[in-house]
């Protein structure tokens, strides 16, 4: 297990009595693996490459002999098929190592709570409270154990909980050679949070014919749909002169940017949408009178509405240039397409997962991901990859938490899928 010297609200002795999957996860939270959206390297941070070396050792420590790290920081590990099952389709389990740059990824000051309901005071000194008013869904975990932080960092359950699950799944099959299974392929990717998790992922090198990501969601979550996604970079070219003599001369790029944002449908924003509803999301702006750059996300589950949204932006730019004199440009780049576009062609992969939920006695909750996963891009490359739960919630912020029951049942799911791989004769 990765070295750790922080035991939260436990002694070293009591920490050692926790379920191994939880121990692994909590030890993983002590490593900062925040990805960098502005980096051009792969992986985007050296910390992730260093962490990949640690994870290689982690897989080896549980008895996995075939482990490698690609030059782009992707960890791949393999368990050979049980003798006689070598021709069955190989199954993959995948997680990502990086945490979101939207909040601090410094080593988490975690604690495991026996949650009895109500608001959770994360940090009394800083008055940081996980309130039910803002996060009403937490209350359903009353009577269970929750892992939280002191409110100054991410917890990192997205997606270090997923790593703990697949490492423990690998350990289970190493220690139970009597249980038949197809070839099992494990991977941990960098830079998922900045949309680059699979850009250097070679599915032929990985070797699986189908796979599942353990990446987020609460107990029972199963995702076969994601957004269609695009990143929009808009530039507003201004003309600056002294404000005292600016009449009929100055072109204020800040006002142009304000005009652009004002033209976006007010009801089509992340904070006003849910379910299958898409949105426009201005997420970053910089500049001055002489020039402004705006970054914006376009998201929609519907393929046709996604195209409509991109065309809406193009039309906005045309109309604004008529007003402002050809000073607005927009670069629209598609990041990924809806996972459903690809999984609909591989129903057996999804049905296998549904049966695994049934066999372990976990009620399945299928809903669209209001985001993306590595699975969307992997599926586009030809590796059908739905997403499975890890037991966490409130991701990408300091109110992130993890259900202990959730991560344990996710491990049960990983093990069951490994067992069921021996039953998969074909994916047709």
Catalytic positions, written as ranges: 98, 192
What is each CA distance from 338 to 202, 227, 229, 343, in whole angstroms? 20, 5, 8, 9
Task: Work out whether strand 184-189 and strand 75-79 pair parallel, antiparallel, or are unpaired.
Answer: antiparallel
Q: Contact, 346 vs 211, CB < 8 A?
A: no
312 CB-contact burial (10 Å; exposed 0-12 / middle 13-18 / buried 19+): middle
Q: How many whole angstroms separate alpha carbon 136 and alpha carbon 149?
A: 18
Q: Contact, 104 vs 110, CB < 8 A?
A: no
Q: How many whole angstroms separate alpha carbon 201 and alpha carbon 374?
A: 10
Q: Report which of 222, 319, 304 is spatially closest to residue 263, judged by C-alpha positions.
A: 319
Q: Report which of 308, 307, 311, 285 is spatially closest to residue 296, judged by C-alpha positions.
A: 285
Task: Work out whether strand 91-96 and strand 128-130 pair parallel, antiparallel, or are unpaired.
Answer: unpaired
Q: How many whole angstroms separate alpha carbon 308 and alpha carbon 104?
A: 36
Q: How many whole angstroms separate alpha carbon 118 and alpha carbon 131?
A: 8
Q: How many whole angstroms separate alpha carbon 421 and alpha carbon 415?
A: 10
Q: Contact, 21 vs 164, CB < 8 A?
A: yes
| DSSP result, 212-258 | EEE---STTEEE----EEEEEEEEEE-B---GGG-TTT-B-HHHHHH
Number of residues that this document lists for the chain: 428
Q: How many whole angstroms separate alpha carbon 369 and alpha carbon 276?
A: 9
Q: What are the two backbone dihedrals, phi and then psi, of residue 31, each rounded to the nearest 5 degrees? A: -115, 125
Q: Contact, 395 vs 416, CB < 8 A?
A: no
């Amino acid at each position: 297990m990765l070295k750790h010297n922080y035991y939260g609200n436990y002694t070293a002795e009591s920490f050692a009595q926790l379920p191994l999957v939880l121990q692994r996860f909590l030890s993983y939270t002590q490593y900062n693996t925040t990805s960098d959206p502005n980096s051009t390297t792969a992986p985007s941070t050296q910390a992730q490459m260093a962490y990949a070396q640690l994870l290689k050792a982690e897989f080896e420590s549980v008895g996995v002999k075939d482990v490698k790290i690609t030059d782009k920081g992707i960890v791949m590990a393999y368990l050979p098929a049980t003798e006689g099952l070598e021709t069955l389709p190989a199954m993959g389990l995948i997680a990502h190592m990086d945490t979101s740059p939207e909040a601090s990824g410094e080593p988490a000051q975690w604690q495991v709570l026996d949650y009895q309901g109500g608001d959770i005071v994360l940090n009394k000194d800083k008055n940081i409270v996980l309130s039910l008013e803002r996060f009403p869904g937490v209350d359903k975990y009353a009577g269970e154990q929750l892992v939280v932080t002191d409110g100054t960092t991410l917890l990192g359950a997205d997606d270090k909980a997923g790593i703990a699950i697949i490492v423990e799944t690998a350990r289970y099959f190493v220690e139970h050679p009597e249980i038949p299974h197809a070839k099992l392929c494990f991977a941990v990717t960098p830079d998922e949070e900045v949309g680059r998790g699979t850009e250097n992922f070679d599915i032929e090198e990985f070797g699986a014919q189908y796979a599942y990501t353990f990446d987020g969601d609460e107990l029972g979550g199963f995702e076969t749909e994601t957004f269609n996604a695009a990143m929009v970079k808009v530039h507003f070219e201004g003309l600056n002169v002294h404000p005292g003599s600016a009449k009929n001369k100055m072109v204020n790029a800040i006002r142009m940017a304000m005009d652009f944002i004002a033209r976006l449908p007010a009801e089509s924003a992340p904070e006003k949408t849910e379910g299958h509803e898409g949105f426009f999301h201005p997420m970053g702006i910089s500049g001055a009178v002489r020039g402004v750059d705006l970054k914006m996300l376009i998201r929609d589950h519907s393929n046709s509405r996604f195209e409509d949204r991109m065309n809406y932006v193009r039309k906005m730019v045309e109309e604004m240039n008529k007003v402002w004199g050809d000073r607005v440009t927009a670069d629209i780049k598609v990041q990924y397409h809806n996972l459903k576009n690809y999984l609909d062609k591989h129903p057996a992969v999804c049905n296998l997962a549904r049966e695994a939920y049934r066999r372990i006695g976990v009620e399945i909750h299928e809903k669209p991901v209001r985001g993306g996963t590595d699975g969307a891009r992997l599926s586009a490359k030809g590796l059908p990859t739905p997403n499975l739960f890890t037991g966490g919630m409130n991701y990408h912020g300091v109110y992130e938490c993890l259900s202990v029951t959730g991560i344990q049942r996710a491990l049960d799911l990983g093990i069951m899928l490994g067992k069921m791989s021996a039953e998969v004769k074909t994916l047709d």
